[in-house]
Chain A
Amino acid sequence: MVLTGFLVTFAGVIAGIAFAVWRSGQVSLRNPQPGSSIDGTWRTDFDIGSENASGPLRARIARKGLFALSRSEAVYYTRVVDDTGAPLDSTSTYKVTGTRMPCDWWSITLYNQDDHLAANHDNAASINLDRLIGSPEHWTAIVGPTRPAEPTNWISTAGTTSFDLTLRLYQPDLDALTSGKVTGFPTVERLPVQTGA
């Protein structure tokens, strides 16, 4: 009976470790801090990289965002859905529309579901403020599998199965972000499927 009890406890420990590893790999960020969710789409946790980070958050960052900086240096928002709440889909094309954001510099990067850059040769893994085509006050970008015919901001989804978008804000205006009233974050609109003639 003692041996069985030991084995049952040991099995519980193994199951607990396995659950911790699995759970830390989940994308959800549900910490309800002011400003941690923009329109319910772009999500972050301001405790990333800070001493206040909980054990589960540290484990999650170790798996999904190793070497993330603290919020005074950079804030990382991730979104996995379009403006209607539908999951981002590799076969669809999206129009991203944005304005000036509360930071010195920003970038938007697409990551495959394996948390790595999309394995393609398009050299279009991200857009950023310095490379932006158009005004930083009002800009658009295409996220899709095919390079747009006209020169425009483009993030390629080629080589992905499913993906998410990560918005990095460097030297962020934390007062604005944590006020919960910040606006102007990029919208992500799924474009209608083009049908041939």
Chain B
Amino acid sequence: MTALLYLCLFAVGLGAGWVIGIQMLPRVIMKVVLQRVDKTAGGPNRMEHRGPADPHRPTIVRQSPDLLYSACAFDLDAGAVQVEVGPTEGYLSVAFFDRATNNFRTLTPKDLAATNGPVTLVSARHTAPPDTGVVVQSPTQRGIILIRRRISTDESLARMLKAQTGDHCQVIAG
């Protein structure tokens, strides 16, 4: 009888552990990534301009060697964050990920061309400042903004690296 009770308790623990593990894993991984980007970019709300993928110095799983990445670890506790994207020919995407790694919004060149204003990331607590272009609302205070550019050819890499220097993120309001 006692053994059966212990078996049931173990099964309950196992189920609870499964749920906890599945729910917590993306948050734990994102926390590690946020700390890493904070460190390399010099703090939150600063853009990190990454070079082409280096197979001998991997920074992230399944990085594409055909894309050039800029990353900003945002922290909306400091205020709304404005994102500037360097002018780019060809493919571009600006993807927003929340604290649990969910891709809650992606902007394409078409979205960016629809307005001449900047991109502003806000939380539920903020109101977007006037004359704001695209407004994106984040479900969490922390997360990652990832800008991807296609490296079409070896010749295009220099142009993409130059365009990448126009990527910025900064706090604009408290």
Taking the complex as formed, is A13 at the interface, i.e. its CB lies under 8 A from any CB of chain B? yes
Which residue in chain A gives the minimum CB-CB distance to B27? A62
A73 touches B17 (CB 8 A): no
A125 touches B26 (CB 8 A): no
Taking the complex as formed, is B130 at the interface, i.e. its CB lies under 8 A from any CB of chain A? no
A1-60 residues at the B interface, CB under 8 angstroms: 1, 4-5, 8-21, 24, 49, 51, 53, 55-56, 58-59
B30-70 residues at the A interface, CB under 8 angstroms: 30, 33, 53, 55-56, 58, 60-66
Which residue in chain B gives the minimum CB-CB distance to A14? B17
Taking the complex as formed, is B93 at the interface, i.e. its CB lies under 8 A from any CB of chain A? yes
Tell me, in angstroms, the Cα distance from A16 to B25 when the chains sit together: 12
With known contacts A12-B10, A17-B17, A117-B53, A126–B95 Cβ distance under 8 A: no
B17 touches A125 (CB 8 A): no
Give the most central of A21, A59, A62, A117: most B CB within 10 Å.
A62
A4 touches B6 (CB 8 A): yes
With known contacts A1-B2, A67-B144, A120-B55, A16–B26 Cβ distance under 8 A: no
Tell me, in angstroms, the Cα distance from A130 to B156 when the chains sit together: 11
A59 touches B22 (CB 8 A): yes
B55 touches A125 (CB 8 A): yes
Taking the complex as formed, is A63 at the interface, i.e. its CB lies under 8 A from any CB of chain B? yes
Taking the complex as formed, is B115 at the interface, i.e. its CB lies under 8 A from any CB of chain A? no
A69 touches B65 (CB 8 A): no
User: What residues of chain A lie closer than 8 Å to B113, measured between beta carbons?
Assistant: none
Taking the complex as formed, is A77 at the interface, i.e. its CB lies under 8 A from any CB of chain B? no
User: What residues of chain B lie closer than 8 Å to A73, measured between beta carbons?
Assistant: 93, 95, 106, 108
User: What residues of chain A lie closer than 8 Å to B55, measured between beta carbons?
Assistant: 116-120, 125, 159
A12 touches B9 (CB 8 A): yes
Tell me, in angstroms, the Cα distance from A105 to B43 when the chains sit together: 34
A119-161 residues at the B interface, CB under 8 angstroms: 119-120, 125-126, 128, 130-131, 159
B62 touches A115 (CB 8 A): yes
Tell me, in angstroms, the Cα distance from A124 to B89 when the chains sit together: 24
Give the most central of B13, B21, B58: most A CB within 10 Å.
B21
Taking the complex as formed, is B163 at the interface, i.e. its CB lies under 8 A from any CB of chain A? no
A111 touches B5 (CB 8 A): no
Q: How far is the CB of A2 from chain B (nearest CB, A)?
A: 11
Which residue in chain A gives the minimum CB-CB distance to B33? A66
Q: Contact residue range for chain A? A: 35 or more
Taking the complex as formed, is A91 at the interface, i.e. its CB lies under 8 A from any CB of chain B? no
A12 touches B97 (CB 8 A): no
Taking the complex as formed, is A68 at the interface, i.e. its CB lies under 8 A from any CB of chain B? yes
B25 touches A64 (CB 8 A): no
Which residue in chain A gives the minimum CB-CB distance to B54? A117
With known contacts A19-B18, A24-B25, A63-B29, A9–B102 Cβ distance under 8 A: no
A12 touches B2 (CB 8 A): no
Give the most central of B25, B106, B150: most A CB within 10 Å.
B25
Taking the complex as formed, is A65 at the interface, i.e. its CB lies under 8 A from any CB of chain B? yes
Chain A to chain B: the 3 pairs with minimum beta-carbon distance, closest first: A16-B17, A12-B13, A20-B21
Residues of B whose CB lies within 8 Å of any CB of A are: 2, 5-6, 9-26, 29-30, 33, 53, 55-56, 58, 60-66, 91, 93, 95, 97, 100-103, 106, 108, 144, 146, 150, 152-153
Given contacts A16-B17, A16-B21, 11 further A-B contacts (CB under 8 A): A12-B14, A13-B17, A20-B17, A20-B18, A20-B20, A24-B25, A63-B61, A65-B61, A67-B146, A69-B103, A120-B55
